[in-house]
Amino acid sequence: MQTPWTRILLGILALFSIACGGGNTAPPSHELQRTTSGNIVVVLLADHDEVKQGRDTLSLEFRGADGTLKDVGTVRVNATMSMAGMAPMLGTIEIARTSTPGRYAVSTDLGMSGGWQLNVEWDGPVGRGTARLQQTVR
């Protein structure tokens, strides 16, 4: 049998466990695309199966050939969508370092469904590089 104090203690521990769970920095679980540029593997990840139209949150990882995360320094990403007879449509991309070197948080705002090209550039400890990712936004 549980005493009232035991129940209170278990309740406090459960609340503490829930509150501390917000600091989880695990990467998203779905790999959307992987490409190699020189000796760097660029991986686009999400918590879902595809890039979403409108606002979305993704993760970008930079890995060495051995699979370990590599700090690539400053990263820039731009998104364009080609449309016949028109200037390319531009999407909004914001990128930020995370507490894990080599992993970057990406916020997108892609206003139209269709084929988007993500141009990735980096400059840092592993040198300069570029990569191109193609994504179908739905």
> How many domains would you assign to the chain?
1
* DSSP code of residue 44: E
Give residues with Cβ within 8 angstroms of 10, minimum separation 6. Answer: 2
Question: Does the residue 17 lie in any domain?
Answer: no
* DSSP code of residue 66: T
pTM: 0.79
Residues 84-116 pLDDT 10s: 999 999 999 999 999 999 999 999 999 999 999
Residues 18-62 pLDDT 10s: 444 444 456 678 999 999 999 999 999 999 999 999 999 999 999
DSSP string, 13-30: HHHHHHHHGGG--PPPSE
For residue 126, pLDDT beyond 60: yes
Q: Which amino acid is at 33?
A: Q
Tokens of 29: 């679980």
For residue 79, pLDDT beyond 80: yes
pLDDT for res 8: 52
Question: Does the residue 9 lie in any domain?
Answer: no
pLDDT for res 24: 47
For residue 1, pLDDT beyond 70: no
pLDDT for res 76: 98
CATH number at residue 80: 2.60.40.1930
Q: How many other CB atoms are found less than 10 A from the CB of residue 121?
A: 15
Question: Does the residue 37 lie in any domain?
Answer: yes
Domain, as residue range, for 74: 27-137
From edge to edge, which strands make up the β-sheet containing 30-37? 30-37, 40-46, 54-63, 103-110, 89-97, 74-81, 114-124, 127-137
Helix (H, G, I), strand (E, B) or coil at 5: helix
Question: Does the residue 33 lie in any domain?
Answer: yes
| Bridge partners, residue 33, by sequence | 44
Question: Does the residue 126 lie in any domain?
Answer: yes
Question: Does the residue 73 lie in any domain?
Answer: yes
Question: Does the residue 102 lie in any domain?
Answer: yes
